[in-house]
C-alpha cells in the first residue's frame, strides 16, 4: 500500500491537517494513530510523518524526517489567461499545468473575453490535489481576475523577466522556442478565443511584450496555455 500524501503549508508550527484533509484521512483512508503519511508544504519540502490522532475535524501528526528539500528552478512560469465560458476547460488546464510545474496562474478579461468573473477557491483545491498527485514540491499561486489594462499596467520590465503573448498574425510571429531567453521568469499571456483586439495587441507590443506563435493550428485557450507551459519546460531540459 502506498503512503498517502497530504498538504500542510506550515507543518512544523502547525502539525495538524486541515478539516478537509482530516476528513479524507479519517473517513476515506481510515488512518489511525501510528500510520505513516507524507506531508508537502508547497514550498519545496516533503516530510515523512506519523499520525498521532485521527478525527474528521482535526487530524494531528508528528514529523519523523525531512526527506526532500528542493530549491526553486532557475526559471519561473507565470501564466496569465483569459478564461473561457466553460469552467471545466479552465479547471482541466489548471490541473495539468500544476502537474507539469508552474509558479502561478492568473486570469484577466479583455475586449473579446467570454467570462468576466472567476472563483478561485475551487482552482486552489485543484492545484493542491495536483501537487499531491505529481512529484512537484511547489504549490502554484492562483491569482483572481483583473482587467487587461490592470494586468499590463502592473507588470513592469525587470531584467530577469520576459513578457510574451500568444499572437495570431499573418505572417505568423516567431515560435516560442525562438522567442524566449533561457532561465528567466516568464509572464505568458494567452488571450480569449476571439483573440486580442488590434488595440490590445498594439498596447502589448508598445509595452515590450514579445509576440510568439504556437504553430499553424489555431489552439483553444486552455490548450494554448498548457502547450506554452510544457514547451518552456522542454526548452530547459538540456
> Which cell numbers hold the place of 124?
486552489
State the alpha helices, DSSP H only, in the chain: 19-23, 87-100, 120-133, 148-154, 176-179, 198-206, 221-235
CATH number reported for the structural domain that contains residue 231 in this entry: 3.40.1280.10
State how beta strands 185-190 and 76-81 pair: parallel
**In this structure, are 62 and 89 located in the same domain?**
no
* 3-class SS of residue 198: helix
pTM above 0.85, yes or no: yes
**In this structure, are 131 and 46 located in the same domain?**
no
Are the CB atoms for 7 and 37 separated by under 8 Å?
A: no
**In this structure, are 218 and 102 located in the same domain?**
yes
Domain that holds residue 29: 5-69
**In this structure, are 94 and 152 located in the same domain?**
yes
**In this structure, are 62 and 168 located in the same domain?**
no
pLDDT tens for the chain, 238 residues long, are 699 999 999 999 999 999 999 999 999 999 999 999 999 999 999 999 999 999 989 999 999 999 999 999 999 999 999 999 999 999 999 999 999 999 999 999 999 888 888 989 999 999 999 999 998 999 999 999 999 999 998 887 788 999 999 987 766 678 888 999 999 999 999 999 888 899 999 999 999 999 998 888 888 999 999 999 999 999 998 6
Burial 151-184 (b: 16+ CB within 10 A, else e): bbeebeeeeeebbbbbbeeeeebeebeeebeeeb
CA distances from 227 to 93, 132, 195, 230 (A): 10, 22, 17, 5
CATH number reported for the structural domain that contains residue 12 in this entry: 2.40.240.20
Q: What is the pLDDT of residues 28-60, one digit of tens each?
A: 999 999 999 999 999 999 999 999 999 989 999
Amino acid at each position: 500500500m502506498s503512503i498517502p500524501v497530504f498538504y500542510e503549508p506550515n507543518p512544523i508550527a502547525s502539525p495538524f491537517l486541515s478539516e478537509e484533509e482530516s476528513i479524507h484521512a479519517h473517513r476515506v483512508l481510515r488512518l489511525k494513530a501510528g500510520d505513516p503519511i507524507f506531508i508537502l508544504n508547497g514550498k519545496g519540502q516533503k516530510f515523512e510523518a506519523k499520525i498521532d490522532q485521527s478525527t474528521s475535524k482535526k487530524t494531528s501528526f508528528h514529523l519523523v524526517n525531512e526527506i526532500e528539500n528542493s530549491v526553486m528552478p532557475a526559471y519561473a512560469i507565470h501564466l496569465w489567461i483569459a478564461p473561457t465560458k466553460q469552467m471545466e476547460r479552465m479547471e482541466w488546464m489548471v490541473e495539468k499545468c500544476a502537474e507539469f510545474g508552474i509558479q502561478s496562474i492568473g486570469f484577466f478579461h479583455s475586449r473579446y473575453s467570454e467570462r468576466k468573473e472567476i472563483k478561485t477557491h475551487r482552482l486552489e483545491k485543484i492545484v493542491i490535489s495536483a501537487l499531491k498527485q505529481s512529484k512537484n514540491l511547489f504549490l502554484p499561486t492562483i491569482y483572481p481576475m483583473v482587467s487587461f489594462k490592470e494586468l499590463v499596467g502592473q507588470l513592469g520590465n525587470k531584467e530577469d523577466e520576459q513578457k510574451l503573448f500568444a499572437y495570431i498574425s499573418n505572417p505568423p510571429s516567431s515560435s516560442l522556442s525562438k522567442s524566449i531567453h533561457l532561465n528567466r521568469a516568464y509572464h505568458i499571456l494567452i488571450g480569449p478565443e476571439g483573440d486580442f483586439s488590434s488595440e490590445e495587441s498594439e498596447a502589448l507590443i508598445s509595452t515590450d511584450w514579445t509576440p510568439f506563435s504556437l504553430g499553424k493550428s489555431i489552439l483553444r485557450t486552455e490548450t494554448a496555455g498548457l502547450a506554452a507551459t510544457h514547451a518552456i519546460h522542454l526548452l530547459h531540459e538540456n
